[in-house]
Structure 1
């Protein structure tokens, strides 16, 4: 479905753009994906420290949503204390060029 189809149906959620926003939209998801791309794999507390302002509950729910959408792999090691690492899926890796374009745009327009 293209943006032209949106005009006919009136529902942007049914467009490819709407799907993409449902997977990576919000305040934290693209930041989480960016951190995982730059530092792989990453443990939960390490990610929390890197992000800073996010709560444990919010980080946990965002990671669960990214995992459910096939963007993040959660690997749990059976040890004490528990160890859990997160990394990107192949599907998420296909989004990395778009994240790089966001970085390029930010670099060019930050001071304007």
Structure 2
């Protein structure tokens, strides 16, 4: 028996459906670099490209440029070009970007607060995996 609520019948969207336009927004936000850019810009002050690149250790210029363009396209960030030599470009979150940036900051805070427990769980899992024969596992999910 289907107990799901199909929002399409009521003028909404259903993110669980393959063709739902919301999925493209979720894919963007779920990207590691998007999340980090949004959190870096979350303090509501404009940042220049080089400053963002230094803040996001490991990001390439190409990936950062692609990420910033996608965020601007979706209305989560603004790009302001100042007519100087060389041109000065600043990036800042829009109101929507600030909203999602706040949510992602909460996830970042949770990740930092729980990293020790996550690492311990990983080590425990890896240790169990080395002691079990291939193809044999125990499930703590109640047989799901």
Normalised by the length of structure 2, the TM-score is 0.64
Flag the 1:102–1:82 CA change in 2: closer, same or farther, 3 A.
Answer: same
Match of 1:35 among 23, 26, 40: 40
- Unaligned 5+ segments in structure 1 are none
Query: Which residue is 2:6 aligned to?
Result: 5
Which residue does 1:92 correspond to in 2?
97
Task: Output the aligned Cα RMSD.
Answer: 2.6
2:113 match = 108
Indicate conservation of the 8 Å contact 1:66/1:72, yes or no: yes
Unaligned runs of 5+ in 2: 8-13, 118-144
What stretches of structure 1 move > 6 A for 4+ residues in a row?
Answer: none
For these two proteins, the number of residue pairs brought into alignment is: 108
| Worse overlay, 67-76 or 19-28 | 19-28
